[in-house]
Amino acid sequence: MTAEDNDTAMSDLPEQRDGFFQKLLPPPEPYADEPPLLSACSDELTRPECRLDAPDAYEYIIIANRGIIASMVIQEAHKAGKKVFLLWEQEDLPYFDHLLDDGDIVLPVLTYKDSRNKGSAREDIQVIRRLREMIESMDIAPEKVAIHPGYGFNSEDPEWNAEAGRYFKILAPSAAWIELLGNKMEANRFCQETAIPLPISSGDVKTRAEARAFFRRYQTTVQRFLFKDCFGGGGKGQLEIDASVAEEEFLALFEQFSARHPSFIINEFVVSNRHIEMQVMIDREGTIRFGPMRDCTLQRGKQKIIEEIAIGITPDQVQFLRDNITAFFRKGAEKLGHPYEGLATFEMMYLPLEKRFYFLEVNTRIQVEHPVSGHQGGIQFIQTQFDIAEGKRLKAQEQLDAEAEARGGHTMEARICFERFLSAAEREAFKKTMGVDIVTVPEAGQPIYALELPAGRDVTVYMDHRLDGGDDRQTGRMPNKQYDSMVIQIVARGKDRDGARRRLISAVETLRVDGLQTNQAFVVALLNHPLFIRGESTSDQPVVKDAMAQTIQFSERAFLHREQLARRNKQEQQTKQLLQSIANRELALPEGLTKLDLPYLFATRLGHLKPTISQIRQLLADMDLSAEELRSSEERVVIHWPLGLLVHDLLDTFGAFGVHLETHHCSRPQARFSVPCRIQPLFLGFLQQYADDRAS
């Protein structure tokens, strides 16, 4: 894409007054150089009895995941002097040399979750068992090897963690903790013993009668109900229902949902809230520490798009949450007989008007959005996971808070997904055939021709580095569509919230991906929404809806523009082929025609292709016709044309073919051209194209 092409593409964006897109943003003031992110652990070790199964250091990390988190773990493992075992599926992108160090090993085995089998019969568990046998055959002590499960896949599967934990240390809490907190009903019971309230909840509902009783009791109290799978996560296993529905419709939905989700609860869905997360870290002694809080309110279809440091939360509220979350994990340790170990995310709904928090759930893994808290607090959470597993003690909370305070500023992150917004015709086809309104589809399986990442001291890009293919940035192919379409996370820092927002917009607009479409326009629309700019976005505000509508309009214009470009490219290709055929004398004249008929013949063929001026000039040159031949062979026609055009340009091109300016009347702003009849179609085509070019 040339600079001119880029300017044209940018000119398609609506002006700033249109609400969400800004044509040009003033460059944000650069933020101070960011110190490197460091582990939240000190060099001090926990008590010896807490480190009975912990080596001095794990030398190898098995990465049981893929994508962005795999790239992150690879990089942090190398920084810590560790080697990695990479589990790779052959349909997936390869691990290029630029990602690997000497001693790293790539194994062609499956990484996805095997949900067809149970226990030791699961293929993903057999992989871990075979991996241990192979590692032992290489004279590597399995005690020096740990598994990083990442997020998604098996990271919150208690069965996989229990079975795989028999062979290697897993950088995660115990399977018992994962099972306890993965069950939303059990987590709710624990939270009831703290001062953090719960939304109205049914507990375990098994029968139609229990569902009817709950509906009748709270129909007039709540605005919406939420069916929530006890073991769901990542926005899956949820169904929102308006409280105004008829009882029979509610019960029909209950039966449909229970058929797919054997264990679930019915909660009050608090319509107007902000999604707040507290990053929790717990070492082997059970010491509990906290990272900066995040706001993940801007979501589409339960999938987060924009995350930032939480705003409007007072120090007293933060301390209230810390005290009660600490009590939550201590009660769990009493129940299970051992403390939680590793990272956790305590998720809540926050009601800004009431200044009140409601418990949502606890995730027992590292989160996609952990860099937001990391860059705000100066914490490298993956390194922290390594250190906790090796028995190191977390720093004092006062030290972590002081380090975050010293960094200051504001942190904001955007998730970039490879996805395509459907055209109006495609959406209508889906409605007719499937009865659903599908707006976007993942983009995958297509080559990426160019990839340019934003840069700057206040911008950090996390991505699946297999996409850039190394230092030459020659890309491979996208994975197939069974994988997550999110492949890039952009983190921006600013001296204040607006500075971070503007820097993030600039970074998202700077990102260039040729070959696949992304959600960049949607992200920019969100960041430029007036409610988000003012920090007033809540779950019931139309921020996401408005941004979607704006992006659909933008995408429709872009779709039409791409169609026009495709037609123009096709026309240009056909024109070039025809011109080449003329130049090579490859086209035979129809019977009865002479070469004097060539201008007329090819003008009729070229008419629908709208050839350019230079192409018409080339055509005339390739025909090898002389003015004398044309003058002596046919009649002439007089053509009037406005004098606004440069007459001498026309005569320079067609003068050699017998075209001349007959008269020039000052009283009439027109020129009269005398043109041989056989050259007339080409001459008129040239005039029209010349006029169009000058007008544009």
Q: What is the CATH number of the domain that holds 265?
A: 3.30.1490.20
Residue 293 resides in a domain: yes
The overall average pLDDT reported for the chain is 83
393/423 same-domain check: no
Mean pLDDT check: name the lowest of 40-49, 114-123, 505-514. Answer: 114-123
- pLDDT recorded at residue 355: 92
431/556 same-domain check: yes
Distance CA 616, CA 274 (A): 63
Residue-range definition of the domain harbouring residue 621: 595-695
Distance CA 309, CA 387 (A): 25
Residue 5 resides in a domain: no
Q: Are 459 and 490 in contact (CB under 8 A)?
A: yes
Distance CA 147, CA 61 (A): 6
Per-residue confidence band for 148, with pLDDT thresholds at 50, 70 and 90? very high
Assigned token pair, 140: 């590597």
Q: Return phi, psi of residue 241, to 5°.
A: -135, 130
Nearest to 694 by CA among 653, 656, 647, 659: 647
677/643 same-domain check: yes
524/669 same-domain check: no
Distance CA 363, CA 307 (A): 17
Q: Are 307 and 288 in contact (CB under 8 A)?
A: no
Residue 349 resides in a domain: yes
Nearest to 231 by CA among 183, 191, 160, 181: 183
**CATH number, domain containing residue 276:** 3.30.470.20
Assigned token pair, 60: 């190898």
Q: What percent of the chain has pLDDT over 70?
A: 77
Q: Using the 3D structure, point to which of 365, 385, 408 is the last residue of a domain.
A: 408
Contacts of 113 (CB under 8 A, 6+ apart): 124, 153, 154, 157, 160
284/392 same-domain check: yes
Distance CA 124, CA 116 (A): 11
Assigned token pair, 341: 């170990």
Distance CA 81, CA 60 (A): 9
532 vs 98, more confident: 532
What single-letter DSSP state applies at residue 243? T
Domain count, the chain: 5
Query: Residue 67, by phi and psi: left (phi above 0), alpha (psi -120 to 50) or beta?
Result: left
Count of CB atoms within 10 A of residue 559's CB?
Answer: 17
Q: Using the 3D structure, point to which of 408, 428, 451 is the last residue of a domain.
A: 408
Residue 588 resides in a domain: no
Nearest to 509 by CA among 499, 495, 523, 497: 523
Distance CA 531, CA 274 (A): 13
524/640 same-domain check: no
Q: Is residue 230 over pLDDT 70? A: yes
- pLDDT recorded at residue 18: 36
- Secondary structure class of 267 (helix, strand, coil): strand
Assigned token pair, 439: 């707006």
484/524 same-domain check: yes
Mean pLDDT check: name the lowest of 246-250, 382-386, 471-475, 640-644. Answer: 471-475
Containing 191, the helix (H) or strand (E) segment is: helix 184-191
Nearest to 160 by CA among 117, 106, 105, 107: 117
554/606 same-domain check: no
Residue 116 resides in a domain: yes
- pLDDT recorded at residue 56: 81
Assigned token pair, 522: 């949607």
Find the radius of gyration of the CA atoms of the chain. Answer: 33
432/529 same-domain check: yes
Per-residue confidence band for 45, with pLDDT thresholds at 50, 70 and 90? very high
- pLDDT recorded at residue 5: 44
- Cβ density class 99-134: b for 16+ within 10 Å, e for less: bbeeebeeeebbbbebeeeeeeebebbbbbeebbee
Residue 520 resides in a domain: yes
Which residue matches tokens 């009668």? 209
425/546 same-domain check: yes
275 vs 56, more confident: 275
- The size of the chain, in residues, is 696
557 vs 472, more confident: 557
Q: Are 182 and 160 in contact (CB under 8 A)?
A: no
Per-residue confidence band for 14, with pLDDT thresholds at 50, 70 and 90? very low
- pLDDT recorded at residue 121: 87
H helices of 421-542, in order, are 424-434, 497-510, 520-527, 530-533
Q: Are strands 264-269 and 201-204 parallel, antiparallel or unpaired?
A: antiparallel
Q: Is residue 10 over pLDDT 70? A: no
- pLDDT recorded at residue 652: 67
> Half-sphere exposure of residue 57, counting CA atoms within 13 Å on the CB side?
9
Per-residue confidence band for 13, with pLDDT thresholds at 50, 70 and 90? very low
Residue 12 resides in a domain: no
Mean pLDDT check: name the lowest of 20-29, 239-248, 280-289, 594-603. Answer: 20-29
Q: Averaged over 446-456, what is the pLDDT? A: 83
Count of CB atoms within 10 A of residue 70's CB?
Answer: 24
- pLDDT recorded at residue 292: 98
Residue 578 resides in a domain: no
What is the per-residue DSSP string for 454-483?
---TTEEEEE-TTTT-STT----B---TTS
- pLDDT recorded at residue 309: 98
- Amino acid identity, position 346: F
Q: Is residue 634 over pLDDT 50? A: yes
393/303 same-domain check: yes
**Structure confidence by residue, pLDDT tens digits, 52-79:** 877 888 999 999 998 899 999 999 999 9
284/366 same-domain check: yes
Which residue matches tokens 């990271």? 155
Q: Using the 3D structure, point to which of 229, 250, 269 is the last residue of a domain.
A: 269
Q: Is residue 91 over pLDDT 80? A: no
- pLDDT recorded at residue 460: 95
Contacts of 586 (CB under 8 A, 6+ apart): 580
- pLDDT recorded at residue 560: 81
Q: Averaged over 614-633, what is the pLDDT? A: 62
Q: Is residue 342 over pLDDT 80? A: yes
Distance CA 641, CA 655 (A): 16
Per-residue confidence band for 23, with pLDDT thresholds at 50, 70 and 90? very low
Nearest to 64 by CA among 137, 184, 166, 171: 171
Count of CB atoms within 10 A of residue 475's CB?
Answer: 22
Choose the most confident range, by mean pLDDT, from 310-324, 514-528, 553-567, 598-612.
310-324
